[in-house]
């Protein structure tokens, strides 16, 4: 749900109630899915079915394990749950996942899924978001979305051109992982584990959806379930400075900052949020990031844009800004999209830029673009979701 303490609350869309926070009527038409709920949500569902007191904790644990450890899609599978309770659950709830309305597989093995979410109000058309799985030799990364669309309007990012924006619930974020595991067949008894890392780098600004992201990270990292540890979950932000400290203390995932510019005039243009939270404030927040150490470095993302932010002077300024921050710099070749006005820096320039940063003692890998052919690379995600016109309600 949208939070009240959000320093830059979304200007659009009604806040929607979090699924799983309401008792469910016994009505097959409106059965809601338990997929993606946290333990409290599952306990509520069980209470609705008459489970109480000491049994509640044990049953919640069982349900949790069936859903998140084994990927159950039917209550019938739950052999250690009594028939009566299974029937009561099935009368009120389902275990269905959001529908994957499209799957594209890149020639480099990257997969992109278009995931259709449930409408949260009568006025909303089911919104769609994208998530991407990127296989590498020693790991597999799932990139999930935290919002439908994005309000930030970074000028080099395709998602920023999308009209519809709303926060995803925690269950909608966790459900992306469930859907990916279904598609990759990696539940027990199936394929080996492929998703080793999760990045909140899809559509949206995670720190504008703090509470839900926090809850989703708890669900995903729970070691009795999906069990991807917080050290392997990275949250990427465009720099919502007032939320960065809480991100460290309350969420505790790895942090990535979309820096992209080293001077305020340039960064104002690329990441308009910079006008609100300029570079100096952002770097201070990073310097004071809770838990920061050489073992827990901040990743700085830097999109390479020809003639805009890629000079040697920019590289030297970057090094100066990073002073005192245990950091790694990801140089991202710009991924074009239809209508984008920027060009990617020449490869040689990216390498020279990287050398300056590297010589100053920072790891500065150049990120290989993945899934460009299916528009699955960084900043290329944009679903066709449209904002509902008022007269269509």
Q: Which residues are marked as active site?
A: 130, 378
| Number of residues lying near ligand SAH (CB under 6 A) | 16
Q: Confirm or reject binding of residue 63 to ligand SAH (CB under 6 A).
A: no
Q: Are 173 and 203 in contact (CB under 8 A)?
A: no
Residues from 272 through 301 that contact ligand SAH (CB under 6 A): 301
Residue 235 CB, shortest distance to ligand SAH, in Å, is 8
Among 43, 169, 236, 345, binds ligand SAH (CB under 6 A): 236
* Site track for ligand SAH across 334-353, x = CB under 6 A: xx------------------
For strands 111-116 and 99-105, give the pairing. Answer: antiparallel
Angle at 106 between CA 226 and CA 338, to 5 degrees: 110
Q: How far are the Cα atoms of 69, 111, 135, 165 from residue 194, in angstroms, in the given order?
A: 15, 13, 8, 30
Closer to ligand SAH by Cβ: residue 33 or 237: 237
Partners of residue 115 on adjacent β-strands: 100, 129
* Site track for ligand SAH across 137-176, x = CB under 6 A: -----------------x-xx-------------------
Residue 265 CB, shortest distance to ligand SAH, in Å, is 18
Q: How far are the Cα atoms of 109, 111, 127, 208, 329 from residue 372, in angstroms, in the given order?
A: 11, 11, 23, 27, 21
Helix axes of 53-64 and 39-48: crossing angle, nearest 10 degrees = 120
Cα separation of 90 and 70, whole Å?
18
Residue 391 CB, shortest distance to ligand SAH, in Å, is 32
Residues from 205 through 234 that contact ligand SAH (CB under 6 A): 205
Residue 223 backbone zone (phi > 0: left; psi -120 to 50: alpha; other: beta) = alpha
128 Cβ contact list (under 8 Å, min separation 6): 101, 114, 115, 116, 117, 148, 383, 384, 385
Q: In what order do the strands lie in the sheet with 111-116?
A: 99-105, 111-116, 128-135, 140-143, 197-200, 233-237, 254-258, 298-304, 327-333
* Site track for ligand SAH across 178-207, x = CB under 6 A: -----------------------x---x--
Closer to ligand SAH by Cβ: residue 59 or 111: 111
Closer to ligand SAH by Cβ: residue 309 or 335: 335
Token pair 């970057």: residue? 318
Residue span binding ligand SAH (CB under 6 A) among the ranges 18-26, 42-50, 102-110, 236-244: 236-244
Closer to ligand SAH by Cβ: residue 35 or 258: 258
Closer to ligand SAH by Cβ: residue 42 or 321: 321
Closer to ligand SAH by Cβ: residue 37 or 152: 152
Residue 334 CB, shortest distance to ligand SAH, in Å, is 5
Residue span binding ligand SAH (CB under 6 A) among the ranges 60-68, 86-94, 165-173, 328-336: 328-336
Reading the block at residue 152, the tokens are 């930030």
139 Cβ contact list (under 8 Å, min separation 6): 196, 197
Q: Is 102 helix (H, G, I), strand (E, B) or coil?
A: strand
Binding residues for ligand SAH (CB under 6 A): 154, 156-157, 201, 205, 236-238, 258, 301, 303, 332, 334-335, 378-379
């Amino acid at each position: 749900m949208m939070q009240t303490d959000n320093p830059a609350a979304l200007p659009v869309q009604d806040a929607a109630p979090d699924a799983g926070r309401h008792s469910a009527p016994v009505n097959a038409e409106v059965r809601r899915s338990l997929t993606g709920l946290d333990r409290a949500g599952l306990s509520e569902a069980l209470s609705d079915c008459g489970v109480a007191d000491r049994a509640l904790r044990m049953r919640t644990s069982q349900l949790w394990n069936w859903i998140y450890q084994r990927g159950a899609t039917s209550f019938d599978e739950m052999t250690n749950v009594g028939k009566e309770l299974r029937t009561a659950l099935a009368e009120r709830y389902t275990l269905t996942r959001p529908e994957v309305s499209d799957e594209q597989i890149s020639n480099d093995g990257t997969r992109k899924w278009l995931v259709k979410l449930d409408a949260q109000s009568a006025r909303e058309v089911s919104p769609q978001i994208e998530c991407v799985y990127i296989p590498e030799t020693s790991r597999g990364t799932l990139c999930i979305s935290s919002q439908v669309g994005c309000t930030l309007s970074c000028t080099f990012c395709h998602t920023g051109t999308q009209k519809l924006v709303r926060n995803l619930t925690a269950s909608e974020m966790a459900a992306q992982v469930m859907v990916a595991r279904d598609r990759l067949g990696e539940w027990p008894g199936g394929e080996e584990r492929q998703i080793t890392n999760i990045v909140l780098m899809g559509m949206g600004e995670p720190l504008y959806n703090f509470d839900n992201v926090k809850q989703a990270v708890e669900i995903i990292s729970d070691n009795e379930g999906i069990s991807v540890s917080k050290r392997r979950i990275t949250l990427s932000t465009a720099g919502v400075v007032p939320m960065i400290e809480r991100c460290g203390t309350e969420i505790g995932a790895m942090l990535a900052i979309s820096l992209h510019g080293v001077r305020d005039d340039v960064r104002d243009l690329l990441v308009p949020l910079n006008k609100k939270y300029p570079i100096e404030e952002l770097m201070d927040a990073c310097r004071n990031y809770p838990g920061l150490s050489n073992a827990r470095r901040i990743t700085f993302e830097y999109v390479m844009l020809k003639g805009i932010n890629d000079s040697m002077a920019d590289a030297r300024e970057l090094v100066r800004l990073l002073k005192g921050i245990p950091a790694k710099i990801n140089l991202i070749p710009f991924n074009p999209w239809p209508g984008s006005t920027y060009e990617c820096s020449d490869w040689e320039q990216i390498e020279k830029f990287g050398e300056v940063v590297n010589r100053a003692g920072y790891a500065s890998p150049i990120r290989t673009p993945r899934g460009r052919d299916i528009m699955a690379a960084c900043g290329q995600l944009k679903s066709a979701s449209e904002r509902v016109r008022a007269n269509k309600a």
